[in-house]
């Protein structure tokens, strides 16, 4: 079943209010490579003092739209939100944060997003977003080439002569 954000958010909030964690399918590419289109994300309600720069949070923008983006900075009663693709949501009231993403399911395993290491890695990525995508492209091509060589080597050594 597919629901719009306007339909889904009240259901998410009701579940979070009971203390439950909520899972949903994330869409879009603004958080690539840390969150990918179609992956399942698990979120949890957090108190204001528990949020940290680097956390990925579900927030409501001033225009009523919703984003699952990274908190780049926190000052008093405001958070500065950015996507991992480098788009800035700008400063939002702390009260606009609905929940924090605690994990993402990728390749049949859960990856924690709420650890100090995950936050540091994500913040580092956002600070280097202007070189991140080209570097990621190079890394993907190198990895594919290495896999291709390994597969070719395995076929060569494993073939009957």
What pLDDT, in 10s, does the model give residues 145-156? Answer: 887 766 555 565
Helices (H), the chain: 5-17, 116-127, 132-158
Residues 100 and 27 in one domain: yes
Residues 53 and 114 in one domain: yes
Which phi and psi (to 5°) does residue 99 adopt? -165, 165
* Average predicted confidence (pLDDT) for the chain: 86
Residues 47 and 93 in one domain: yes
**Token output for 86:** 């480098």
| Mean pLDDT value across residues 116-126 | 90
| Mean pLDDT value across residues 78-95 | 92
| Mean pLDDT value across residues 94-119 | 95
Residues 102 and 136 in one domain: no
Domain hosting residue 136, numbered range: 131-161
Residues 43 and 105 in one domain: yes
> Confidence class of residue 87 from pLDDT cuts 50, 70 and 90?
confident
Residues 150 and 103 in one domain: no
Q: DSSP letter at 91?
A: E
Query: Can you give the pLDDT at residue 161?
Result: 46
Residues 124 and 152 in one domain: no
pLDDT(101) > 90: yes
pLDDT(14) > 60: yes
Tally of structural domains, the chain: 2
| Among 79, 17, 63, 8, residue whose Cα is nearest residue 41 | 8
In this predicted structure, which of 57-66, 109-118, 132-141, 150-159 has the lowest mean pLDDT?
A: 150-159
Query: Can you give the pLDDT at residue 60?
Result: 94
**Token output for 111:** 């990856």
Query: Can you give the pLDDT at residue 1?
Result: 72
CATH number at residue 70: 2.10.109.10
Burial per residue of 99-124, b for 16 or more beta-carbon CB atoms within 10 angstroms, e otherwise: bbbbbbeeeeeeeebbeeebbeebbe
Residues 34 and 56 in one domain: yes
| Mean pLDDT value across residues 56-85 | 93
Residues 45 and 58 in one domain: yes
| Mean pLDDT value across residues 44-72 | 93
Residues 156 and 122 in one domain: no
> Confidence class of residue 127 from pLDDT cuts 50, 70 and 90?
confident
Residues 123 and 135 in one domain: no
pTM for the whole structure: 0.78
Residues 121 and 140 in one domain: no
């Amino acid at each position: 079943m597919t629901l719009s954000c306007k339909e889904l958010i009240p259901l998410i909030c009701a579940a979070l209010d009971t203390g439950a964690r909520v899972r949903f399918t994330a869409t879009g590419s603004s958080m690539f490579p840390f969150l990918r289109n179609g992956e399942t994300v698990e979120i949890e309600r957090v108190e204001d003092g528990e949020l940290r720069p680097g956390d990925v949070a579900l927030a409501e923008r001033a225009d009523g739209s919703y984003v699952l983006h990274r908190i780049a900075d926190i000052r008093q009663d405001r958070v500065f939100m950015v996507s991992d693709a480098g788009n800035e949501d700008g400063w939002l009231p702390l009260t606009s944060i609905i929940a924090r993403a605690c994990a993402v399911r990728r390749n049949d395993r859960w990856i924690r997003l709420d650890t100090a290491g995950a936050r540091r890695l994500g913040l580092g990525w956002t600070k280097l977003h202007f070189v991140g995508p080209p570097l990621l492209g190079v890394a993907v091509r190198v990895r594919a080439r290495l896999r291709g060589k390994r597969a070719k080597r395995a076929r060569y050594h494993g073939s009957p002569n």
